[in-house]
Structure 1
Amino acid sequence: MKDDSENARASRLKEAVESGPLNMNEIAERLGVARTSVLNWKRRGSINLDNLRGIAELTGYRFWWLAFGEGPKKSDEPDAELEYPVTEIAKHSPEHAKLVANISHLTAARVLTPAMAEALSGLLTAFVASKKD
C-alpha cells in the first residue's frame, strides 16, 4: 500500500502534468520514457529524482513542491523565504534576482552541495578580482 507522501506526490504530479504546457506524450518523449511511465507517476507518485526534475522543468512547477508539497507551486511564484532579498535585488536586476532564487532552490533540493556552492562562490570572487585589475 502507498504511504500518504506518495499519494500526495501523485496528486501533485497529476496536477503538474495535466496543467502544464505539454501533454503526456510530449513529456514522455522529452524525458525519454514511455507514456505509461508518466501515467504511473500520476497514479502512484513513485518517480526517480531525474524524472522529477525533468517534470519540474517541463511543466513550470517547482521541484521542491512536486517532491514534498512545500513552498510555492510554480517557478514564477515568489518564495516567501526569499521574498525580501530577491525583491531588493530585483529592483536593480531581475536577472540577478532569478539567479539568487535558482541557487536557493538548488540548495533546498540538495542539488547544489556546500562544496559546489563554495566552488561557485570562489569562481565568482576570482572573476570579480580579475575585473578589478
Structure 2
Amino acid sequence: MTNDTENARAARLKEAVEKGPLNMNEIAEELGVARTSVLNWKRRGAINIDNLKGIAELTGYRFWWLAFGEGPKTYSEADGVSNQSPLTDVAKASPEHARLIECISHLTRIRVLTPELAEGITATLNAVAASKKD
C-alpha cells in the first residue's frame, strides 16, 4: 500500500473518529484495543480489516468509504436521508441535555439500558409532559 493511500485513509479515519458518536477511548474499549492504536490509525491509516469494520459500525461511516474513499460517507447519505440525528438537536439544547444523551448512549452500549427500562423512562417522560399540559 502506498503512503498516499494510507494518508488518505488516515484522514478518513480521523474524520470518522472525531465526528462519530464515540470518543477515542470508547472506540478503543469497544474494539478491545489500546487507545494508542486508535490514535495510530488516525495518524497513519494502517488498520486491519476487522478493526476497520468495527470503526465503520461504531461511527456510522460506511466501510467502503473508510477503506477506499469511494461512495457516500454514511448510510444516511447513501439513502438520501439527512446525516444529522434528531438527537443532535436535543444535545444542542443545553449542556444538561447533551449529558442526558451521552448517558443514554453509554448505558445502551454497555447494555444497562434495556428496552424495558427505556420504555419505562419514556412512559415517565410522557407522563411529565402530559401533566404540564393541564
Unpaired stretches in structure 2, ≥5 consecutive residues: 81-134
1:14 aligns with 2:8: no
Assess if the C-alpha contact under 8 Å between 1:12 and 1:69 holds in 2: yes
Shift of 1:75: 1.6
- State how 1:36-51 maps to structure 2 within 5 Å: 36-51=36-51
Q: Which residue of 1 aligns with 2:29?
A: 29
Shift of 1:77: 1.3
- State how 1:83-102 maps to structure 2 within 5 Å: none
Q: Which residue of 1 aligns with 2:53?
A: 53
Shift of 1:78: 1.8
SS of 1:72's partner is: coil
Q: Which amino acid aligns with 1:59?
A: T
Q: Flag as ranges the 4+ runs of structure 1 deviating above 3 A.
A: none
SS of 2:27's partner is: helix
Shift of 1:8: 0.1
1:67 aligns with 2:63: no
Residues paired across the two proteins, number:
80
TM-score, normalising length: structure 2: 0.57
Shift of 1:42: 0.1
TM-score, normalising length: structure 1: 0.57
Deviations 1:34-85 (A, max 9, x none): 00000000000000000000000000000000000000001211269xxxxx
Query: How many Å separate the matches in 1 of 2:8 and 2:78?
Result: 22
Query: How many Å separate the matches in 2 of 1:56 and 1:27?
Result: 11
Assess if the C-alpha contact under 8 Å between 1:62 and 1:73 holds in 2: yes
Superposition RMSD in Å: 1.7
Query: How many Å separate the matches in 2 of 1:49 and 1:38?
Result: 14
Q: Which amino acid aligns with 1:42?
A: K
